[in-house]
Amino acid sequence: QVQLVESGGGVVQPGRSLRLSCAASGFTFSSYAMHWVRQAPGKGLEWVALIWYGGTNKYYADSVKGRFTISRDNSKNTLYLQMNGLRAEDTAVYYCVRDSAAAGDPSNEIDYWGQGTLVTVSS
Amino acid sequence: DIQMTQSPSTLSASVGDRVTITCRASQSISIWLAWYQQKPGKAPKLLIYKASRLQSGVPSRFSGSGSGTEFTLTISSLQPDDFATYYCQQYNSYPITFGQGTRLEIK
């Protein structure tokens, strides 16, 4: 079965960096585009970033553009989110999610979600 | 960016009721809309994609309709398991955006 397991969250001071990882299993990771979606405590969902299955194309939310970098290592079945210049408003649960389309362009429909990792930005 | 607005923000209903949640887009998104259900402390679950297509394994009491700028999610007969928060998501263009959520609570 599809499993997405995030790690790397924690408490970090404003301005510092953090890297999230997502270990994928139960499907052909290299065939699927992947996204990060976040949810601030008690708030709604916010899409963060997308990476194509081959890693060539990437898109970002305006709120993280220039600070966050999405990447993947298909040989390790792992998705990453490098977060630099963290701000208090980046505090959220970060979900690693799978795009529903296998190969080709992403569908941008999210069919599997990890359980999330909490990032808290605070001094 | 395309803004998604859901109404109502909170909905009180009883088991067996028929309920409808509305999602409006700030510009036309054709049929590129999905609905998700989220329960407290859990990750969201895909219910509907392409505005009206039921995700595999989702009960048929859930249905979606609409195109352009106005969309609805309907639950034909509420079950106890349906009390949750529902989000719409547009994927017509980047950045992908979500509605603010509709909390469905027990009356």
Q: Identify the helix (H) or strand (E) that includes residue B97.
A: strand B97-98
pLDDT tens digits, B25-80: 999 999 999 999 999 999 999 999 999 999 999 999 999 999 999 999 999 999 99
Note the pLDDT of residue B16.
96
b/e A80-116 (16+ beta carbons within 10 angstroms → b): bbebeebeeebbbbbbbbbbbbeeeebbbbbbbbbeb
Residues 7-46 of A with CB under 8 A from B: 35, 44-46
Distance from CA of B80 to the nearest CA of A (A): 22
Cis peptide before B59 (omega within 30 of 0): no
Partner B contacted by A68 (CB < 8 A):
no
Distance from CA of B92 to the nearest CA of A (A): 9
Note the pLDDT of residue A110.
95
Give residues with Cβ within 8 angstroms of A81, minimum separation 6. Answer: A19, A20, A22, A36, A48, A49, A68, A69, A70, A94
Please state, in angstroms and rounded to a whole number, the distance separating the CA atoms of residues B54 and A42: 28
Chain-chain contact of B44 with A59 (C-beta, under 8 angstroms): no
**Amino acid code (one letter) for A26:** G
Please state, in angstroms and rounded to a whole number, the distance separating the CA atoms of residues B33 and B19: 19
